[in-house]
């Protein structure tokens, strides 16, 4: 299998806990593209207590969106660091202002939208644990870690994200509806939106590969 030489700019959209993280890591692994996840990068800054980390911490803990000006500057800088490789953008843009700013400097080629029922999302979040340094996500009862509370690869502690608390999740889903819905329409109007429906990532994944194989593999 050879990866096509044309560099592709992919974007993945989906509500919080729609399986975006899981599908993204599978795409990154299968097609060897760079994963640029705004949430992972922000959590990394918080962990390292950088100036940006200190500035954005309260937004993440409360499940609120980081202001557009901060996000736009940060993410465009991050994208410019990716050299000569296709990328998959995850978590950005979340508002039309962000989408517009991105379009001006890095117009994306393909937008994948994951469509997962609301009740499935609520249930999933309750059981979600993450390994912060790597961003690996576990779901109790579905992909349970081998040792309770520990990352399979490093054996380090897993944590529940503060924004996975029920109140923060409700807030994030509300924000998603009001701020991010228009982003979906933005890309639909540009005719580059492709939607994938399902209740689990395993149900969605074959649909994603059926779509991406012809455009990413020779």
Q: Which residues contact 108 (CB under 8 A, 6 or more apart)?
A: 9, 10, 11, 89, 102, 187, 192
Q: Using CA atoms, how far apart are residues 35 and 49, in angstroms rounded to an integer? A: 22
Provide the annotated active-site residues.
Answer: 20, 94, 128, 161, 172
Nearer to ligand AMP by Cβ, of 98 and 139: the residue is: 98
Q: Using CA atoms, how far apart are residues 41 and 202, in angstroms rounded to an integer? A: 26
Phi first, then psi: what are they for 50, rounded to 5°? -75, 175
Which residues inside 129-148 make contact with ligand AMP, applying CB under 6 A?
none
From 13, 60, 173, 183, residue interacting with ligand AMP (rule: CB under 6 A): 60
From 3, 65, 76, 192, residue interacting with ligand AMP (rule: CB under 6 A): 65
Nearer to ligand AMP by Cβ, of 19 and 63: the residue is: 63
Report yes or no: 69 and 154 within 8 Å, Cβ to Cβ: no
If binding is defined by CB under 6 A, does position 86 make contact with ligand AMP?
Answer: no
Nearer to ligand AMP by Cβ, of 93 and 198: the residue is: 93
How many chain residues touch ligand AMP (CB under 6 A)? 18
Q: Which residues contact 82 (CB under 8 A, 6 or more apart)?
A: 34, 36
138 known member of a binding site: yes
Mask of contacts with ligand AMP, 14-53, x by CB under 6 A?
--x---------------------xx--x-----------
If binding is defined by CB under 6 A, does position 164 make contact with ligand AMP?
Answer: no
Q: Which residues contact 68 (CB under 8 A, 6 or more apart)?
A: 95, 97, 98, 101
If binding is defined by CB under 6 A, does position 98 make contact with ligand AMP?
Answer: yes
Structure tokens given for 60: 């993440």
124 known member of a binding site: no
If binding is defined by CB under 6 A, does position 186 make contact with ligand AMP?
Answer: no
Q: Using CA atoms, how far apart are residues 121 and 164, in angstroms rounded to an integer? A: 11
Residues forming contacts to ligand AMP in the complex (CB under 6 A) are 16, 38-39, 42, 59-60, 63-66, 71, 91-94, 98, 163, 172
């Amino acid at each position: 299998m050879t990866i096509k030489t044309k560099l592709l700019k992919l974007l993945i959209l989906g509500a919080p806990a729609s399986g975006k993280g899981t599908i993204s890591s599978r795409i990154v692994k299968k097609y060897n593209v760079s994963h640029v996840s705004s949430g992972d990068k922000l959590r990394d800054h918080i962990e390292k207590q950088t100036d940006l980390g200190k500035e954005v911490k309260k937004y993440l803990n409360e499940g609120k969106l980081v202001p557009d000006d901060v996000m736009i500057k940060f993410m465009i800088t991050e994208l410019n660091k990716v050299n000569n490789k296709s990328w998959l953008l995850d978590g950005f843009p979340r508002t039309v202002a962000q989408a517009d700013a991105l379009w001006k400097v890095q117009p994306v080629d393909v937008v994948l939208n994951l469509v997962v029922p609301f009740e499935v999302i609520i249930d999933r979040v309750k059981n979600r644990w993450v390994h912060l340094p790597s961003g690996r996500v576990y779901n109790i009862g579905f992909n349970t870690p081998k040792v309770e509370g520990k990352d399979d690869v490093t054996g380090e502690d897993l944590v529940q994200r503060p924004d996975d608390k029920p109140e923060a999740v409700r807030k994030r889903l509300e924000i998603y509806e009001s701020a991010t819905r228009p982003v979906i329409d933005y890309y639909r109007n540009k005719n580059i939106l492709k939607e994938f429906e399902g209740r689990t990532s395993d149900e969605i994944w074959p649909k994603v590969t059926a779509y991406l194989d012809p455009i990413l593999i020779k």
